[in-house]
Structure 1
Amino acid sequence: MSLTSPALAAKLAGLQSSAIRDLLKLTARADIISLAGGLPDAALMPRERIALAAGTALRDPAVLQYTESPGWPALREVIAARESTVIGRAVPPAEVFITHGSQQALSLLAEVLLDPGALVIVEDPAYVGALQVFRAAGARIVAVPLDRDGMRLDALEDLLAAGERPVVVHTVASFHNPGGVTLAHERRRRLAELAESHGFWVIEDDPYGELWFDRPAPAPIAAHSSQVIRLSSVSKILAPSLRVGWMIAPDHVCRAVELLKQGADLCGSALTHQIAADLLTDTAWLATHVASVRAAYGSRARTLVTALRTTFGDRVHCTDATGGMFVWADFTDGTDTTALLPTALATGVAYVPGAAFAVSDSYRNSMRLCFTTSDEPTLTEAITRLAKATDPS
């Protein structure tokens, strides 16, 4: 018997488990109202319509077989048509690559585009899934802050003027996770211009773009440049368990990703690909379904924001929830949200401290709140509990 276990890869030394996933283990109790998760509401997922599509798909035995590594061809055609409408230019199926959720696309792209030490620009606060991917790739990560109009391109331009040369700029441009803001139209255009003039890729991570409440987000960054790689999925509008994501990228990037995916899992699921294609091509039904999800989330978002502002007044500043799944809130009185969390849990409410999303700033006074999985009275009660936690007396 060996006295010493073989070592793991050195790249694991700097990786940490997601603080959000770890927190979810603590918030499973029925007496806690959790605003911590980033989950869509399972009650709004179209189970009966998914079952119908699955039954239809299973009539063909071939649906249980392996499919092509870039994805089931018919689904790629469906996505190409949808993305052509969204982006405003013709997207050929060769530029569509189906992945096991958009997170896999991000992971494969990191392997394809980044050598160890390559510079990646991210937003601060940042999407933690992106940080995990880029850290695993050994990238050097530099953060650019957000404001109410999204990524601050003046800060990005300062970095470029100082001689920084990113390989990738990653952005959740529409209804940001965790920041809750949306990149303004002119900034999208300018970011595309900077990508072309300085020779970097933009990864436009867009899982929330269809979840707008009052008006759609501006046209995608990909509408302005071929150096933008777009990621999205059906997880937020249909169901995460389908694990159907995609990227829109130049053909040579897709072929490079294909080589890596073959080594990772050979291919995706022809069954879930066919189910997704069925649902996405039923356009009248889909429009009604997505509209109902928007209406439910919009009402919940407004309730949460109103409760925050009414309860805390000037003690808390929060984003206006115009889409997506999250509200970002800052205590103005010095409240440390990491230190407050145990008291909040004891009071029966959970959130994610801002420090979980920090790259360069600590965000010790900030928190991310998810409004999707609770109804309006529950959200109001959650903020009442949060206020009690901040003032237990």
Structure 2
Amino acid sequence: MSLTLARRMGALRSSAIRDLLTVTARPDVLSLAGGLPDPELVPHERIRQEVDRVLGSPDALQYTETAGWFGLREVVAARETGQVAPDEVVITHGSQQALSLLAQVLLDPGASVVVEEPAYPGALQVFRAAESRVLTVPLDVDGMRTDRLEALLDSGERPVLVHTVSNFHNPRGATMTAARRAHLAGLAERFGFWVLEDDPYGELYYDGPPPEPVATHSDRVIRLSSASKILAPALRVGWLRGPREVCAAVELVKQGADLCGSSLIHQVATGLLTDGPWLDAHLTAIRAQYGARATALHSALVGEFGDAVEVTAAAGGMFGWVEFRDGTDTDALLRAAVERRVAFVPGSAFAVDGGHRHGARVCFTTNTAATLEVAVERLAEAHRTLVVTT
């Protein structure tokens, strides 16, 4: 039987990060690849208690509103900066679904979008499925190069939206400065595009909170966030905050996608997010653990590789970025590294049209400081072998 798929499928390719899961699932492989919370730091007992409490409510297992259980929308609205109403919030199945729904609402085939490069692969998958024309602007240690974005706009490009991971960027680890946030918002006002401020990591800061969101500067900013990194990925609770008209359009599309989310899970998340003393203590604990691991990984990389690499010191989030100054091809390095039972994500996985062959994303959250040191030792062994054989 001849199988014909929709045209948009031709632009899609599997995430290299997801493909690595078959390797990192091996118990003998130390993984610096997947961006996962440490399961030992997920609050299992507190979630169990909240599930038991919520199950006492007769509506816990009933359908809920497409935009999400109203109580959770109230909580998210209160957590957002500024005067936000519940009808300016939509609860989604993780923030990735929010990104996908917004693409359906805002993008016609052929519409131009701008992403930071190296880019978040989940955003690339969404925009390619929407048959968008993807343009790029570079990052540096201060986040998106908004001066380069302005030059792109001055050249005549008119994107419908600009996507940014403003806090503790995936994969680059950078945080956009306050000045660049204001500049980006000003460009959105001047040229009439939407900014999608994708912020799943903002509460995982180690040296102090990041600057105020881009959304504080303009109504043309739609914020996406998630409870996956601070509570548990399996809850699949994400959200978007935006103008009422955008939220209403997203809700309409979402009706055709999944009717509604889980009332049970939404009420559980509400209980966790409103338990202030417990949540503050939980966030303090995971920030301390992850911050120490970020420092340990940075120290190990600098100690093993020295001047051969430039390493971004993570001030939050889950990732560091390693740039090999000696010309190392990180795709080849990954193959050698897996033989030595360690894995990472090569920079090419985050490239829009090739490139970043000397870069690598490394995740520090799922390993202790001692294990991270062993992982970097194995990576250095792989690197030495690669240098000898090339």
Question: Normalized against structure 1, the TM-score is what?
Answer: 0.97
User: Which amino acid in structure 2 is aligned with residue 383 of structure 1?
Assistant: V
User: Which amino acid in structure 2 is aligned with residue 279 of structure 1?
Assistant: L
User: Which amino acid in structure 1 is aligned with residue 51 of structure 2?
Assistant: A
* 1:25 maps onto 2:22 in alignment: yes
How many residues in Structure 1 have an aligned counterpart in Structure 2?
386
Instruction: State the match for 1:377 in structure 2.
Output: 370
Instruction: State the match for 2:53 in structure 1.
Output: 56
C-alpha contact (below 8 Å) 2:11/2:131 kept by paired residues:
no
1:156-195 to 2 correspondence within 5 Å? Answer: 156-195=149-188
Distance 1:391 1:308 in 2: 14
What does the per-residue CA deviation read over 1:325-362, in whole Å, with 9 as the maximum and x for residues that have no partner?
Answer: 00000110011000121110011110000000012451
Instruction: State the match for 1:241 in structure 2.
Output: 234
Instruction: State the match for 1:290 in structure 2.
Output: 283
Distance 1:382 1:121 in 2: 35
Instruction: State the match for 1:12 in structure 2.
Output: 9
Instruction: State the match for 1:137 in structure 2.
Output: 130
Instruction: State the match for 2:223 in structure 1.
Output: 230
- Among 292, 302, 315, the alignment partner of 2:295 is 302
User: Which amino acid in structure 1 is aligned with residue 225 of structure 2?
Assistant: S
Instruction: State the match for 1:115 in structure 2.
Output: 108
C-alpha contact (below 8 Å) 1:124/1:361 kept by paired residues:
no
* 1:273 maps onto 2:301 in alignment: no
What does the per-residue CA deviation read over 1:263-307, in whole Å, with 9 as the maximum and x for residues that have no partner?
Answer: 000000000000000000001110000110100000000000001
* 1:40 maps onto 2:37 in alignment: yes
Instruction: State the match for 1:320 in structure 2.
Output: 313
Instruction: State the match for 2:67 in structure 1.
Output: 70
Instruction: State the match for 1:102 in structure 2.
Output: 95
C-alpha contact (below 8 Å) 2:23/2:29 kept by paired residues:
no
* 1:205 maps onto 2:198 in alignment: yes
Distance 2:183 2:85 in 1: 25
C-alpha contact (below 8 Å) 2:68/2:261 kept by paired residues:
yes
Instruction: State the match for 2:346 in structure 1.
Output: 353
Q: CA deviation at 1:130?
A: 0.2
Q: CA deviation at 1:6?
A: 3.9
Distance 2:77 2:147 in 1: 34
Q: CA deviation at 1:61?
A: 2.3
C-alpha contact (below 8 Å) 1:70/1:98 kept by paired residues:
yes
**Partner secondary structure for residue 194 of structure 1:** helix
Distance 2:146 2:252 in 1: 34
**Partner secondary structure for residue 61 of structure 1:** coil
Instruction: State the match for 1:146 in structure 2.
Output: 139
Instruction: State the match for 2:251 in structure 1.
Output: 258
**Partner secondary structure for residue 224 of structure 2:** strand
**Partner secondary structure for residue 62 of structure 1:** coil
The CA RMSD over aligned residues, in Å, is: 0.8
**Partner secondary structure for residue 135 of structure 2:** strand
Distance 2:212 2:354 in 1: 30
Deviation larger for 352-361 or 299-308: 352-361
Query: Structure 1 unaligned runs (5+)?
Result: none
Query: Structure 2 unaligned runs (5+)?
Result: none
* 1:344 maps onto 2:337 in alignment: yes
User: Which amino acid in structure 2 is aligned with residue 52 of structure 1?
Assistant: Q
Q: CA deviation at 1:382?
A: 0.6
**Partner secondary structure for residue 139 of structure 2:** strand
C-alpha contact (below 8 Å) 1:235/1:244 kept by paired residues:
yes
What does the per-residue CA deviation read over 1:207-263, in whole Å, with 9 as the maximum and x for residues that have no partner?
Answer: 000000011100000011110000001000000100110000100001100111000
User: What percentage of residue pairs aligned between the two structures are identical?
Assistant: 61
C-alpha contact (below 8 Å) 1:179/1:326 kept by paired residues:
yes
Distance 1:223 1:15 in 2: 34
Distance 1:17 1:171 in 2: 21
User: Which amino acid in structure 2 is aligned with residue 49 of structure 1?
Assistant: R
Q: CA deviation at 1:103?
A: 0.3
**Partner secondary structure for residue 247 of structure 1:** strand
Q: CA deviation at 1:80?
A: 0.8
